[in-house]
Structure formats: structure tokens, C-alpha cells
Amino acid sequence: MTFDAGQFDIAVIGAGHAGIEAALAGARLGLRVVLFAMHLDAVANLPCNPAIGGTAKGHLVREIDALGGEMGRAADACCIQYRLLNRGKGPAVHSLRAQADRRRYGAHMKALLERTPNLCLKQAEIVDLGPAGGPVAWVDTALGARYAVRAVVVAAGTYLNARVITGASVRASGPDGLMPSVSLSDVLRALGLPLQRFKTGTPPRVNARSVDFSEMELQPGDDDAPAFSFETAERPRNRAVCHLTWTTPETHAVIRENLHLSPLYAGVIRGVGARYCPSIEDKVVRFADKRRHPLFVEPTGLDTEELYLQGLSSSLPEEVQRKVLRSIPGLRRAEVTRPAYAIEYDCLDPLCLTPALETRAVPGLYCAGQICGTSGYEEAAAQGLVAGINAARALRGETPLVLDRASSYIGTLIDDLVTRGTDEPYRMMTSRSEYRLLLRQDNADARLTPIGHEIGLISPERYRRTREKYAQVAREIARLSAAVAPPSESFAAFLRARNSAVPTTGVRLSDLVRRPELSYDALAPFDPDRPPLAPEVQEQVEITLRYEGYLKRQEAHVAQFKRMESRLLPGDIDYAAIHGLRLEARQKLDRVRPVSLGQASRISGVSPADMTALMIHLGRPS
């Protein structure tokens, strides 16, 4: 029996990083949203690594912020150590990463949700939604409450039919020992959605008082790291440090001697794990030639002594985990506060989703986060933001927001999922983008803030500030292109000291900025008309000038890409009737139902010959 618990426009199932962004987006766009959490004290939980950002993931956070999402602002309010990764490489792969205070982050997000107009936060397990065979109209809780809704976003994370595995111990559980969501898997399967089984894991946590940091390498934060949010006025302040240690040959011997006890190798774990975040036992087996593996010892907050051992993920029995720790410098006397575990969970085959993250089988049902086959807080938040926006836009009679690969890492992420699918937990990396020099973390505001403003998540004042920032960039580039540094003995000495060629005549300042051995700031003594500019404006000026040729080349590739994306495919096209298509191509095109020729060309199993046949078919008069 159910009872009428009220009416909302959108129900969001799951209050992790995907669910939070979906709920906030819907509420901020004027829709009434109800957000369900399995446990209100686990809202915005960071059950694995207590960190935000990282390689390519930092790009996602800045893109979320530029569109009007919340993760960047929350990270700046709650992070305790910042580092800018890949400084020794080009700006395309510079990525911000920060350690988060785990409890403060969750409390910050929970308070924000509770105070957001149009949003109701509730603790409940959703056990049914429906009706079958039509658009979603309601969700039911385990206690019999029925909420009438017009759209649903499922962001169940790793709770979906989850089980936690440590050695011989296998129990139904979500992360951190919380209850799993058991019934929802059967509901989704009954609605015609294809499910698969994935696995992730966490390392042991230890008490800092039992760690010998003198045997480890200090990993301080970067004092000049930028903030995640373009709206954060001050540079972040580092309030904690991390440390680095390494496994030893003794560590690897302990693991090899106990592989028969590993659920991973005993066949207990059936789910597919993340390729780019393997367990320590998997590393020892797969990389047998490596004498050691790095382990990063990271604080989980300012008000706790608990440390996270990044790189030591495992499902070995607790007794073996203790032996492993005793073989590692600095951890030989470590007190384990939480043993490592693996967690298996159900998720969708994302090929069942449209580029708007709506399921094809059930109108009004959207999915976001790890249920779509991804791993990582940032990937989840990005999908949640897009799903929430599109649920709201659909209810307002507006076209969906679909970001393409040339616009953002968010667009690349979603296109990879809905076009190519994934048979393992998907992780965003800079190498996944063919346009990564254009899609830098530093220019996410230029790329996406206009879209966020058009949608309604970016205020007119913020949009005005962004436009003025890039107007300053354009003016300064024009000035540098016209200004000339005249020859002089002091200028020649300056160039020789930096192993830079000395011209015999005047040289444009823009050409000097392009020289890798020089910089915009270094040229200040020879630039008397230089205006006062904010550091972020200077950064854009320097990158734009220094990489101008490469940027133009990528922009030409983007133009070609957009021509293919603009050739739309009819929604009712019958691929089985197209002469010249191979059977595999017909099946995969029918399964994915691409919206454009560009998307069709990226489907695995669709060859150039198949594309030719498809274009010939489209060229025929109907």
C-alpha cells in the first residue's frame, strides 16, 4: 500500500555528487525538486579518495563551475591542500587537484541543499518508479510514500544492488557500511534497461599518530595554485600536507603469497574493475617487473587523524592487509582505522541513453554518475548537472542541452558513454579529447559561461564579468601585436641572459611573448605602456599568443567536426533497409540511434565504408 506524499516536478534518486548537481540545477531553474538520500549524513560523501580534481578531472570541475554548477565553489570552501598537476608540460594538461576535508565538504553541501528554494531533501530508499510502458509519473519509497513527479534522475552511485568484499567476507552493503539500494536494480531491469556489473575499491585508512612520517617524502601544496571556481576571489590556502612512500619487495612477496585469499583472483569478485585504478594485488601481478609502487598518504580532514593511503586499494583479508602495511616504510606500526574493501554494484550500459542522458526506453527518466558506467566524483557531478538541466528543460518545453566534443570535456565524457559505451568503469583523461589544447581548464569560463547564462544558471553580472575579462585579453593581444621593443644594449643583455636571439631591429612584443624562453612578466621592463592586468588575464594573453599556430590548427579540425555534427540523422531511420551497410553496422547504428553523421562515425564497429553507404542513402531523395 502507498500513500500520497506530495507532488514535485523532478525526483532525484541519490544525493552523491551527481544527484546534488542534478537537484540544484533543477531547483535553480525554477522546478520543484525532491532529492532522496539513503542516509542524510552521507550527502556528498567522499567514500574513496577525499580529493577533488586531478588530471582531466580538474578540467571537469572548472567546466561544471562555468556552467553554473556547485562542485567548484564547494571545493574551494572545503579543500585543505591544492596542487597544480603537470606543471612541466603544456597548459592543455595542467590540472588542479585538491585534498578535501571530507566531513566539511559533506556538511557544506547538505546545508546548501537544505537552504535552496524549490528543493526538498529527504532520507528514503526508492524501491519503485513508474508506470511501466510510459513516461515516469511517480516514485515509491520503502515506507510506502508515493511522490507524483514528471521526471526522474537516477544517480544511485555505487549503492545499486551493492555488496562489499574483504577477503572471505561478502555482505550486502553500500559504501562505508551504509545500506545498499537493492530493489531499484530489478525495477530498472523491468523497465527494459540493460544492466552490467562493475567494481571499485578503497584502501585502508590509518591513524596518523601511528605513522612515521620521517620515513616518507613530504608532499606540500602549491602556494600559487588557482581556485576551482572562477568566482573564488582569493587564491586557496594550504592547511595540510601529504606524504609519499613506496611499496617494497617484501610488500610484493606478502601479496603473492596470499593471492589465493584474494577475492579478485578466487573468482568471488565478478564485477569489472577500473583499468586506471587497480588494486595493489592487481598491480603486483600485472606489473611484476616493478620493484615498487608509489603510495600517497593523504589527510581526510583537519579535525581527524585518519589518513587515506592512495594506491593501496585492496580486497585482501584484513589480516593480510596488516602484513602489507608492516612491510611499507612509515607504515610499519600503522593502526588501521578502516580496512580496505572492494565494492560491486549494478550500473547501466550507457548505450541505452540519449546524448541528453535520458533513457530511450522510458521518457522522462534520466541517469547520471556511476550508474552510467563512470568512476569518479567529478565525472558524476558533470553528468548530474547535464541531467538536471535537461530534465528541467524538457519540462519547460525547451530543447535539451547537448555539449559536443569540441566544446568541453563534459561533452567528450557524455559522447564517449552514449556513443561507444563502456565495458569497464570509465575515467576521464586528457588523452580522451582530440581538442585538448582548446579545452583547457583555464579557459572553461570562455567556453561555457555563455551557455550557462543562456540556460539560466549564470547571472547576468557574472556573464558580464566574463565578457569583460576576455575583452581585456583581446585588447592586450592587439596592443602587444602593435607595440615594438626598440633595440638597445640593455634589451640585448636581457635577451642574451636568457639565451634568446638578439634582433638587430625593433621586434614586436607579441613575437617576444611567443618565445618559450621569455614570458609576459619578464618583458615588463621593456614595455612602458603595459596596463595593470589580473593574473588570469595575463595567463590568457600569454597562452593565446604562444600557442596561436596550434590553436588555429585545432580550430580548423573543429570546423570540420562541426560540419559532420550538423548533418542530422532522422530519428526514424531504418538502418536494416540501407543497402551497403554491414550487419554489424546496422545492429550498432540501430542500438545507439545516433543523432548525426558525426556521432555515427564514432560508433565502434561502424567503418568508413559503412559511413559512405550511410551518406549515399541520405543523399537520395525521399
Terminal C-alpha separation, the chain = 53
Distance between CA atoms of 308 and 101, rounded to whole angstroms?
A: 12
**DSSP secondary structure letter of residue 350:** G
The per-residue pLDDT for range 579-597, each reduced to its tens digit, is 899 999 999 999 999 999 9
Distance between CA atoms of 599 and 488, rounded to whole angstroms?
A: 56
Sheet holding 163-166, edge to edge: 169-172, 163-166, 341-348, 195-202
- The full DSSP string for 61-74 is HHHHHHHT-SHHHH
Question: Do 242 and 335 reside in the same domain of the chain?
Answer: yes
State residue 264's pLDDT score: 86
State residue 619's pLDDT score: 82
Question: Do 213 and 318 reside in the same domain of the chain?
Answer: yes
Distances (CA, A) of 404 to 29, 449, 603: 22, 15, 15
State residue 335's pLDDT score: 98
At 468, list the grid cell: 569583460
Question: Do 335 and 266 reside in the same domain of the chain?
Answer: yes
Structural domain including 302 reads 205-343
- Which contacts (CB < 8 Å, 24+ apart) does range 259-267 have? 259/285, 261/167, 261/168, 261/316, 261/317, 261/320, 262/315, 262/316, 263/165, 263/166, 263/167, 263/168, 263/170, 263/315, 263/342, 264/315, 264/342
The per-residue pLDDT for range 211-252, each reduced to its tens digit, is 999 999 999 999 999 999 999 998 899 999 999 999 999 999
User: Does residue 166 belong to any structural domain of this protein?
Assistant: yes
Domain boundary (430, 455, 480) is at 455
Question: Do 375 and 514 reside in the same domain of the chain?
Answer: no
Nearest alpha carbon to residue 63 among 373, 461, 565, 440: 440
CATH code (residue 152): 3.50.50.60
On the question of a cis peptide bond just before residue 532, with omega within 30 degrees of 0, the verdict is no
Question: Do 217 and 180 reside in the same domain of the chain?
Answer: no
Half-sphere exposure of 562 (CA within 13 A, CB side): 10
What's the number of domains the chain is made of? 4
Question: Do 481 and 523 reside in the same domain of the chain?
Answer: yes
Question: Looking at the predicted structure, is the pLDDT value of residue 621 above 60?
Answer: no
CATH code (residue 572): 1.10.150.570
Percent of the chain with pLDDT over 70: 100
pTM beyond 0.75:
yes
Beta strands in 131-247 (DSSP E): 138-141, 145-148, 151-154, 163-166, 169-172, 195-202, 205-207, 217-219, 242-246
Domain boundary (343, 378, 402) is at 343
User: Does residue 558 belong to any structural domain of this protein?
Assistant: no
User: Does residue 445 belong to any structural domain of this protein?
Assistant: yes
**DSSP secondary structure letter of residue 418:** I
Distance between CA atoms of 380 and 582, rounded to whole angstroms?
A: 35
Nearest alpha carbon to residue 130 among 189, 195, 193, 187: 187
Question: Looking at the predicted structure, is the pLDDT value of residue 546 above 70?
Answer: yes
State residue 622's pLDDT score: 45
- The full DSSP string for 512-564 is HHHSTT--TTTTGGG-TTPPP--HHHHHHHHHHHHTHHHHHHHHHHHHHHHHH
Domain boundary (455, 487, 508) is at 455
What are residue 272's phi and psi, to 5 degrees?
-85, 130
Question: Do 364 and 427 reside in the same domain of the chain?
Answer: yes
At 48, list the grid cell: 574513496
Residue 108 pLDDT class (50, 70, 90 cuts): very high
Any idea what the Cα angle at residue 14 is, between residues 314 and 418, rounded to 5°? Answer: 80
User: Does residue 560 belong to any structural domain of this protein?
Assistant: no
**DSSP secondary structure letter of residue 240:** -
Mean pLDDT of 58-82: 98
Q: Which of 213-222, 343-352, 574-583 has the lowest mean pLDDT?
A: 574-583
Distances (CA, A) of 359 to 147, 193, 208, 382, 566: 20, 8, 46, 17, 23
Question: Looking at the predicted structure, is the pLDDT value of residue 330 above 90?
Answer: yes
User: Does residue 561 belong to any structural domain of this protein?
Assistant: no
Residue 618 pLDDT class (50, 70, 90 cuts): confident
At 234, list the grid cell: 582569493
Question: Do 189 and 62 reside in the same domain of the chain?
Answer: yes
Most confident of 270-284, 336-350, 568-582: 336-350
The per-residue pLDDT for range 142-181, each reduced to its tens digit, is 999 999 999 999 999 999 999 999 999 999 999 999 999 9
User: Does residue 414 belong to any structural domain of this protein?
Assistant: yes
516 CB-near residues (< 8 Å, 6+ apart): 546
Mean pLDDT of 561-583: 92
Mean pLDDT of 541-548: 96
User: Does residue 557 belong to any structural domain of this protein?
Assistant: no
State residue 620's pLDDT score: 63
Question: Do 37 and 185 reside in the same domain of the chain?
Answer: yes
User: Does residue 559 belong to any structural domain of this protein?
Assistant: no
CATH code (residue 281): 2.40.30.260
Percent of the chain with pLDDT over 90: 95
Question: Do 94 and 230 reside in the same domain of the chain?
Answer: no
CATH code (residue 534): 1.10.10.1800
Mean pLDDT of 283-312: 96
The per-residue pLDDT for range 7-41, each reduced to its tens digit, is 999 999 999 999 999 999 999 999 999 999 999 99
Half-sphere exposure of 66 (CA within 13 A, CB side): 25
Question: Do 58 and 196 reside in the same domain of the chain?
Answer: yes
Question: Do 85 and 234 reside in the same domain of the chain?
Answer: no
Mean model confidence pLDDT for the chain? 96
